[in-house]
Amino acid sequence: MSQTSSWESTLGSPESSDAMPRERTILARTVLHPDPARLGETTTLFDPNAEGTVNISRHAPAFRDVAGATVGPLETRWVSRQGVALTRAVGQGLFVESVTREPVLINGDQSSAVRVDETALQRGALIALGKYVVLWVGFDGGLVDQGSRASDVLAGQSLAIRELRRAVENVAPLDVSVLFRGETGVGKELVAQVTHQQSGRKGRCVSVNMAAIPSATAASALFGHRRGAFTGAVESNLGFFREARGGTLFLDEIGETPSDVQPMLLRALEEGVIQPLGELPSEVDVRVLAATDSNLEAEVDAGRFRSPLLRRFEVELKLPPLRVRLDDVPMLFWKFYYEALARFGVAISNGGADADADPWLGVGFARRLLAHAWPGNVRELRNVATRLALSQRECDKRTAEERWSSQFELADSDEPGGRKSATTVSRPPASERPRPTPQDIRETWAASGYRLKRAARVLGVSPSWLNEQLNDDPQVRRAKDLSASEIASAVAAEQGDVSHAAERLGVSRRALVLRMKEIGPETATKRGR
């Protein structure tokens, strides 16, 4: 290990870890890989209450695909043969340590050793193995839905999406009305369609956006009317309820239903009876699903939504926002991206046989995907993938990525799905930032591998200012103070690699090279990388 191992950061709160469950399996899931076909594969790291150390490297452990079949280790040259070591202590979380001299990248922060506590394991930690492989590591939810009929449509392997798939499969065959709640863009209509498909109902699934229907014609649109029932009714209209007879009627934005129509809708839900305008009441066999991103309880309090109508929905399902299922984001991106490429007629060449060619989407791209808060949820992610695929029609893949990345606005939340990072958010003006302490400087200097520009970027200072502080600090080692024997010994221990010798000695590579030139031929060797 290099001297960076002394710098340890903690993810999560150790104080709160005792309250979290400890009996669940800890697994790793691929969320970025040069071959997109391998996204979503998992491997069990620790069984419940198990302790010890597991290494993740190029050749071990074996991973399973989403169907549960063993597909082998990561096996890509973009992952080192040594990898990272994960040490488990029940109640203390995971200690993640780089086996090589390169710092490990966890949730966008670099260090040679990081403790991920129990709280952080609930949401999962993102560990980069090299430049093109990222793993999500965290507690498994204990849900197995291999072969789920909903998995192709409600794609993903996160606990949140598996819980949703299980809930949909449980409620779909039941003859109950369901209210789907969730933020805009989470896929409420898609879930409604899956619910209908698994319901066994023979009729159609008719989708209606209540916000798009004028108040004056809402009753006619929903329940229908007879020709001549009112001025302008030149033709009869079945209405959405009768169009969905024997099937499902999905009412999106249910909170926008006009107040005078709500009693009619309540009767349809309670009695299965509708009354088209100008006609007698009639029974109709329709299952009603609805969705909202509004606070309907607040609408009830304000007198805009009827409490009996809200209570009439027998089941409520809450759809998770994308920010709580970050481990699904890269997989969903690739799914949407490939769908868009096929739609636009662009040849697909990334992954598969080309997996060991230089991948064009690496950890930097994954960090952008995973740092963004995704306020528009799955819809926003799909739009991003579509725009990137569309721009690829006009230029090569890497130019398309750079063009997209330069326009991508990152969130500034401190939580996953918008975590602040020195490399992803803009800093305040230098005059408004507190200067780092000598201890901050020494720790960051070591953690950066004694690279001046990298350490300056992390600290948010200029390289020249940092260089002055390092020169003035008596506790910081200087290359000019190194003897020829010290240098020769370090270079020999690193088999002639000057870069690694510099890390061993605790100085920058540039300074070590200058010192070697100054001393003379007795330290001459290959300069390394």
Render pLDDT for 31-83 as a digit per residue (tens, 0 to 9).
Answer: 888 787 888 889 999 998 888 999 998 899 999 987 788 999 998 888 888 88
Nearest C-alpha neighbor of 117 from the set 139, 98, 85: 139
The span from the CA of 215 to the CA of 341, in Å, is 40
Least confident of 345-359, 404-418, 495-509: 404-418
Phi, psi of 186, rounded to the nearest 5 degrees: -80, -10
Within 10 Å of residue 67's Cβ, how many Cβ atoms? Answer: 9
Work out the average pLDDT over 141-164.
69
* Cα within 13 Å of Cα(209), Cβ side: 5
Considering the entire predicted model, what is its pTM? 0.65
Question: Highest-confidence range of 1-5, 102-106, 159-163, 301-305, by mean pLDDT?
Answer: 301-305
Residue 170 pLDDT > 80: yes
* CB-count burial class (<10 Å; 0-12, 13-18, 19+) for 311: exposed
Residue 210 makes CB contacts below 8 A (sequence gap 6+) with: 218, 251, 252, 253, 254, 255, 256, 257
* Cα within 13 Å of Cα(282), Cβ side: 16
Nearest C-alpha neighbor of 442 from the set 466, 423, 424, 422: 466
User: Across all residues in the chain, what is the average pLDDT?
Assistant: 78
Give the pLDDT confidence score for residue 361 in this predicted structure.
62
Work out the average pLDDT over 340-344.
84
Question: Highest-confidence range of 11-20, 234-243, 257-266, 357-366, by mean pLDDT?
Answer: 257-266
Are 156 and 328 contacting, i.e. CB atoms less than 8 angstroms apart?
Answer: yes
Task: Give percent of the chain with pLDDT exceeding 70.
Answer: 75
**Confidence class of residue 355 from pLDDT cuts 50, 70 and 90?**
very low
- How does DSSP assign 172-207, residue by residue? TTS---EEEE--TTS-HHHHHHHHHHTTT--S-EEE
Residue 29 pLDDT > 50: yes
Are 433 and 427 contacting, i.e. CB atoms less than 8 angstroms apart?
Answer: yes
Give the pLDDT confidence score for residue 10 in this predicted structure.
38
Query: What is the CATH topology of the domain spanning 3-143+324-407?
Result: Tumour Suppressor Smad4 (2.60.200)
Place of tokens 């060991």: 356
**Confidence class of residue 234 from pLDDT cuts 50, 70 and 90?**
low
The span from the CA of 445 to the CA of 439, in Å, is 10
Phi, psi of 64, rounded to the nearest 5 degrees: -115, 145
Least confident of 140-144, 233-237, 286-290: 140-144
- Tell me whether domains 3-143+324-407 and 159-318 share a fold: no
Integer-rounded Cα Rg, in Å, for the chain is 29
The span from the CA of 91 to the CA of 473, in Å, is 39
- Please give the angle made by the CA atoms of 183, 185 and 188, to the nearest 5 degrees: 80
Distance of CA 80 to the CA centre of its chain: 24
Work out the average pLDDT over 7-35.
57
- How does DSSP assign 267-299, residue by residue? HHHHHSEE--BTS--EE---EEEEEESS-HHHH
Angle (deg, nearest 10), helices 397-407 and 363-371: 30
Q: Domain 159-318, what architecture? A: 3-Layer(aba) Sandwich (3.40)
- Listed by start position, the domains of the chain span 3-143+324-407, 159-318, 431-523
Are 406 and 399 contacting, i.e. CB atoms less than 8 angstroms apart?
Answer: no
